[in-house]
Amino acid sequence: MLKKLKEATLEANLELVRRGLVLYTFGNASGISREDGLVVIKPSGVDYDALRPEHMVVTDLTGRVVEGALNPSSDLKTHLALYKAFTNIGAVVHTHSEHATAWAQAGREIPALGTTHADYFHGPVPCTRELTDDEINGDYVLNTGKAIIERFAGIDPLAVPAALVAGHAPFAWGRDPHDAAHNAVVLEAVAKMAFMTVLLNSQCGVSEALLDRHYFRKHGAKATYGQNTVI
């Protein structure tokens, strides 16, 4: 069942490990089959070394486990909320990667300070407001997703494929698990460079024109970057 999506989701989880974005069992990636209305997600608190495609947990969009012997990631409800609100995304990744988490903990959005950022994020990487005590004491994981969705009012999720949750850490997403993990890795690099940049110059940032030029160089109908064929 969903064999390819399980493999792709596992591979996205492992990419987070290879790139140094996760420590121990931190982090999780999921992917969705829109036609089946089913989500494949990493099990909770399992060593990455031991992960196999068959350990991936399959749930429906209400969070009911449809297949899999293990508990799904404790962040499942955030993933599901994002899939329901952001209908053009195909995968979600959550990490506590160090630099992006520092921005999230500081409660600051990551401003667009250069073309590395603009190549991937068509505007600042937003940071949610802090959750209220009621939201934390209530359906906390779901409310985390709602805070992201609230913050993205008027923003195309695929044009800015990541968010910082204040006091917590980043979520990233994409068209598929490979794309979402890639965005999470670039987000961490962008966050690191932005950290150093604001220490060197607290007043800087790219122009709208440069943001557009670089973003549309890699995205949309007029993209010019890369190859049409694979070598």
Active-site choice (24, 119, 156, 179): 119
The nearer residue to its own copies, 159 or 192, going by C-beta atoms, is: 192
| CA angle at 59 for the pair 93 and 42, rounded to the nearest 5° | 40
Binding site for its own copies (CB under 8 A): 23-26, 43-46, 50, 55, 69-71, 74, 96, 98-99, 101-108, 113-116, 130-131, 133, 136-137, 140, 167-169, 182, 185-186, 189, 192-201, 204-210, 213, 217, 224-229, 231
Whether 36 is catalytic: no
| CA angle at 219 for the pair 116 and 196, rounded to the nearest 5° | 10
* Residue 35 beta carbon to its own copies: minimum distance, rounded to whole angstroms: 29
In whole angstroms, give the CA distance from residue 60 to residue 64: 6
Length of the chain: 231
* Residue 169 beta carbon to its own copies: minimum distance, rounded to whole angstroms: 7
The nearer residue to its own copies, 33 or 116, going by C-beta atoms, is: 116
The identity of residue 118, as a single letter, is A
Whether 225 is catalytic: yes
Contact by Cβ (8 Å): 192, 119: no
Q: What are phi and psi of 59, to 5 degrees?
A: -130, 160
Active-site positions read 119, 225
